[in-house]
Amino acid sequence: MRPFTYTRAKDPAAATQALAGNPTARFLAGGTNLIDLMKEDVERPTALVDITNLSLAEIKPITAGASKGGLSIGGLGKNTEAANHPLVRQHYPLLSQAILAGASGQIRNMATNGGNLLQRTRCPYFYEVSMPCNKREPGSGCGALEGINRLHAIFGWSEKCVAVYPSDMAIALAALDAVVRVRTASGQERSIPFADFHRLPGNTPEQDTNLAHGELITAIDLPQNRFADRSYYLKVRDRASYAFALLSVAAALEVSETGNRIVQARIAMGGVAHKPWRALTAEKMLIGQEATPANFKRAADAEMAAAKPLEHNKFKVELGNRSIVLALQMALNGGKA
């Protein structure tokens, strides 16, 4: 861990200003990923600005604007609080489940909601500084492309990077069409639709998100929806708990009150791409269809047909297919098998 100065920001303005003048300064919130990566010498900030004392932790109903009727979750609230807030549990159980599927009780007590979105990949070539990695060191090559890539992407990867994004929470947020609210370095507010928040690697895998340096996530807004009765977060992993996903699916359905017809469907996948992967092809196919296993399977087939697996992760195509079907069924049954 390289030497750095440590300061505590008094308010959001001071926080963003502190970063504005220093390209190697970073915010410190929960620290669960940043400190880890600093110990690995992957992250090398020269200054840390502790933002945990800022009043940005509140969870409150949205009473005006585009997301009226929805719920706003403070960027600096802890994952545990978000997962257990009565309004989240009641109206966005998919988000509760996804948060609770991630990490451990201790880490969820530390990690913030904004920080969760900024988790960096768990690719082992990214983590070990002696290995080539374009994300860590642009131009050094991708160690995983022709290396051990069982855990890597099957959608949207580039020759430069095949890493996947590790968050569970963000997969649910993608399915729920959340909006990320940001305070810019100059003190402006801006909103980023969730689909535009994270990036595909392309030629610049060093950029995980479309957040500019010094921008502060103040809140995550959840629009109102009718999915609360029928949603499910499925996480497939190499051990039962405390492991990153091999693959995950956030599924939500709105079904007509008369009969079994799908009015709206949301499917987002984790562990398959450099960002939360919205299964838009599958979603489109399901709308207006009967909610049956056969239709779920057809939608899953169509979605996974576009997958481009690597040498060691061909199983993810079949696993993704089955997981979409299972997650939709679980969602349809209100979370029960």
Partner 1 sequence: MDQNENLDLSDDEKKLFEDLMPEDLNEILDTGVNRRHFLKLMTLAGGGVLAAQSAVAEQLFTKPVSGAMPEELSAAAIENGVNLALNVNGTARKLTVDSRMTLLDTLRERLDLTGSKKGCDHGQCGACTVLVNGQRVLSCLTLAASCEGKTVRTIEGLAQTGSSRSRAGESGAQLHPMQEAFLKHDGFQCGFCTPGQICSAVALLDEARRGDASYVTENVRRKTGPVQLSTEEIRERMSGNLCRCGAYPNIVAAIQEVHSGKPVEQTFRFSA
Partner 2 sequence: MQDKNKLTGTPVSRIDGIAKVTGKAAYSTDYPVKNLAYAVLFKSTIAAGTIRSIDTAAAEKAPGVLAIITHQNAPKLNVDGGIRGGALLQSPEIEFHGQHIGLVVAETFEQARHAAHLISVTYDRRDPKADFEKLMKNASVPKDKDKADAKRGDVKAALREAEIKVEAVYETPIEHHHPLEPHATIAEWTGDRVTLYNSSQIVNGAQTAAAKTLNIKPEQVRIVTPYIGGGFGSKGGQWANLVLTAVAARQVNRPVKLALTRQQMVNSVGLRQRNHQKVSLAATKDGKLTALAHETTTHGAIKNEFIEPCGDCSKIMYDVPNSLITYRIVPMNVILPTYTRGPGKSTGSFALESAMDELAHTLKMDPIELRLKNEPERDPSNGKPWSSRTTVQCLQVGAKAFGWDRRKPEPRQNQQGNYLIGYGVACGTYPAHQRPTSAIVKLKRTGNDVMATVELAAADLGTGTYTILAQTAADALGLPLSQVKVVIGDSDLPPAAGAVGSVGASSYANAVNDACQKITDELLARSGKQFFARPTASQLMLSEKLTDFQTRIDAKPLESAEEYSAHSFNANFAEVAVNRFTGMVRVNRFLAVTGAGAILNPKTARSQIIGGNIWGIGMALTEESVVDPRWGNFVTRSFADYHVPANLDIGEMEAIFIREDDQKANRMGIKGIGEVGIVGVAAAVANAIFNATGKRVRELPITPDKLL
Which residues contact partner 1 (rule: CB under 8 A)? 1, 3-6, 8, 28, 31-32, 35-36, 39-40, 48, 50, 52, 80, 83-84, 86, 89-90, 93, 96-97, 100-101, 103-107, 109-110, 228, 235, 240-242, 334-336
**Which is closer to partner 2, CB of 11 or CB of 238?**
238
Evaluated on CA atoms 127, 129, 130, 134, the torsion sign reads positive
Binding partner of residue 55 among partner 1, partner 2, none, CB under 5 to 8 Å per kind? none
Binding partner of residue 105 among partner 1, partner 2, none, CB under 5 to 8 Å per kind? partner 1
Smallest distance from the beta carbon of 272 to partner 1, in angstroms? 20
**Which is closer to partner 2, CB of 10 or CB of 39?**
39
Smallest distance from the beta carbon of 312 to partner 2, in angstroms? 9
Distance CA 307, CA 313 (A): 11
Closest residue by Cα to residue 53 from 74, 32, 73, 37: 74
Contacts of 3 (CB under 8 A, 6+ apart): 46
- Type and span of the H or E element at 219: strand 216-222
Which 8-state DSSP code applies to residue 325?
A: H
**Which is closer to partner 1, CB of 50 or CB of 301?**
50
Evaluated on CA atoms 334, 112, 84, 89, the torsion sign reads negative
Q: Which residues bind partner 2 (CB under 8 A)?
A: 1-3, 39-41, 122, 124-125, 127-128, 130-131, 143, 146-148, 150, 234, 236-244, 246, 315-316, 318-319, 322-323, 325-326, 337
Smallest distance from the beta carbon of 116 to partner 2, in angstroms? 16
The structure tokens 């900024």 sit at 118
**Which is closer to partner 1, CB of 178 or CB of 310?**
178
Binding partner of residue 41 among partner 2, partner 1, none, CB under 5 to 8 Å per kind? partner 2
Binding partner of residue 11 among partner 1, partner 2, none, CB under 5 to 8 Å per kind? none
Amino acid at 46: T
The structure tokens 């308010």 sit at 11
Smallest distance from the beta carbon of 120 to partner 1, in angstroms? 13
**Which is closer to partner 2, CB of 48 or CB of 73?**
48
Smallest distance from the beta carbon of 2 to partner 2, in angstroms? 6
**Which is closer to partner 2, CB of 54 or CB of 118?**
118
**Which is closer to partner 2, CB of 87 or CB of 243?**
243
Binding partner of residue 237 among partner 2, partner 1, none, CB under 5 to 8 Å per kind? partner 2
Under DSSP, is residue 209 helix (H, G, I), strand (E, B) or coil? Answer: strand
Q: Are 31 and 107 in contact (CB under 8 A)?
A: no
**Which is closer to partner 2, CB of 141 or CB of 223?**
141
Enumerate long-range contacts of 233-238, CB under 8 Å, 24 or more apart.
233/94, 233/97, 233/98, 233/101, 233/168, 233/171, 233/172, 233/327, 234/323, 234/326, 234/327, 234/330, 235/101, 235/168, 235/270, 236/271, 236/319, 236/323
Smallest distance from the beta carbon of 72 to partner 2, in angstroms? 32
Under DSSP, is residue 11 helix (H, G, I), strand (E, B) or coil? Answer: coil
Rounded to the nearest 10 degrees, what angle do helices 293-304 and 315-332 cross at? 150
